[in-house]
Amino acid sequence: MAFWEEKSLDEMTDAEWESLCDGCGRCCLIKLEDEDTGILITSDVRCKLLDGDTCACTDYPGRQAKVPDCIKLTPRNVAEIKWIPTTCAYRRLAEGKGLAWWHPLVSGDPQTVIDVGVSVKGRTFLETEVQADEWEEHAVDWPEWEPPETL
């Protein structure tokens, strides 16, 4: 039995916790909040530390010092953060759903995240290259798209 099937999020080691990230990059997209409705809108503008080709943070250990509003996911806050994508392994496990078939820990291949369209690879703009007053023009709905359970 795989560790994510026999341990709670709280019981996981740091290495196990970190391995749950599928590397999609969706959590590193800039979110905007509609002032009137409070609805969160996701843009295709990525954090200045997210590499648009690898979908990896270019300074993961120092990210919170360089990006003060970067939120570190923990077993305690993962269920409370509304903008975490429904495809996210942390959210799925917190909701008792298990990992998706395309997750690298299940498929054995990080390419499946890209192949099924969950990854933001090649679909984003760096936040330092887009004026903040133009972020609203970059609103997208694809970050909430979920691939079918099987292909």
pLDDT band at 137 (very low <50, low <70, confident <90, very high): very high
pLDDT score for 147: 78
Domain spans of the chain? 3-142
Dist. CA 88–CA 25, nearest whole Å: 10
- Entry pTM: 0.89
Nearest to 129 by CA among 32, 44, 26, 27: 44
pLDDT of 146 higher than 80: no
